[in-house]
Structures are given as C-alpha cells and as structure tokens.
Amino acid sequence: MTTLNTRTWNGLTIPAAGTYAIDAAHTRVGFVIRHMVVSKVRGSFKDVAGEIVVAEDPLASSVTAVIQAASIDTGVADRDNHLRTGDFLEIEKYPELSFRSTGLRAVSGDEFTLVGELTIKDVTKTVELALEFGGVAKNPWGQEVLGFTATTEIDREDFNVTWNQPLETGGVLLGKTLKIEIEGEATRQA
C-alpha cells in the first residue's frame, strides 16, 4: 500500500508542499446565467489548464488557470457559436480567459476564500471564490490527486460582455450575474 504525501494543518489533512497540474479530464469549469427572467442556462468550458502550488504555509498557496474561450459548450451549437462572437467572448481577439490567485484565507474546516484576478476580454477584476478542499487520494496509477470545488458570482458587464435583448413581456433575455461553478482535480507534479 502506498502512502500519501500529506500533513495535518488546523485539523485538516492536506498535501505536503508541492506543485499540482489541473487535470482537465476531471475538471469542470461551469457557469449558470438567468435566461428570459424565468429560467437558467448552464454551460462549461472544456479546455482548461493550470497549476496549483501548495506552499509550506498553506495560506501562501497559489493557483493559476487558463481557459480557452473557444471551448465554451452549452449543448447548443448555434448558441455556442454566438457566444464566441464579438457579442460575447470575441474569441478571435481574446482567445483565453485566465485566473491568478492573490490570496487564500481559511474560513472553517475545509472551507477557504480564494482571492484572485480574473481576466476576460483583457479586463481584469478581483474576485473571491468560496473554495472547498475535497481531500487528497491516490489514483489507480499511483499518482497523488487533490480535489476541490470553487464558486463565485460575477457581473458579466464588468468584463465588457454586455450583449442583451429586451423582452416584449418586460425584462431582458440574459441576466447580468454569472455564477461560476468549478469542480476539479489536480495531479502532483513535484
């Protein structure tokens, strides 16, 4: 039986210091937006890469991530193609969305607040994500893997994603608030 390279911190079993690569095959960067006032549309980005550096001082750990804008997927090809245009992500001019953490605060148990800079369409804003540390395990190939969940809400108009249509019955086609939901795994590299 192989042992995990972990340590105890504030009663929580966490990884020993090291670098982890985000596992795109086991990570979902999803989003939810209000549609026509009465429902919600969900989607995700299929192409994400990044790195998590677990520091000796766990609260000094960091995250960087890059998402390929063209990988947006809502399950409807026509809508996805519209989201890639200048009305929304303008992928020809801005092919990537990125995140770089600037701080990490403990909240309680396995809950943290991850603060960082989110860049969409060359607009960078500070965001706070509610982060839940899922734990550490060995996969069937003997690699150490950590899991996490993170959520936040942003105003898409803050990132110059402003397209909308008024509805005959009142309101607009799309809400301003975009909820981001991330479920992920990362594999130890060093």
**Per-residue confidence (pLDDT) for residue 179, from 0 to 100:** 97
Which has the closest alpha carbon to 79: 33, 119, 37?
33
Which has the closest alpha carbon to 98: 69, 55, 132?
69
Distances in whole angstroms, Cα of residue 16 to Cα of each of 12, 92, 108: 12, 40, 20
Question: 3-state DSSP: the chain helix, strand, coil percent, rounded to 5?
Answer: 10, 60, 30
Return the structure tokens found at 169.
């019955």
Residue 1: which pLDDT band, with cuts at 50, 70 and 90? Answer: low
pLDDT digits (tens, 9 = 90+) for 122-170: 999 999 999 999 999 999 999 999 999 999 999 999 999 988 888 788 8
Give the CB-side neighbour count of residue 117, counting CA atoms within 13 A: 7
- Average pLDDT over the chain reads 94
**Per-residue confidence (pLDDT) for residue 169, from 0 to 100:** 81
Tell me what the mean pLDDT of segment 32-51 comes to: 91
CB–CB of 94/86 below 8 Å?
no
For residue 151, what are the β-bridge partners? Answer: 130, 181
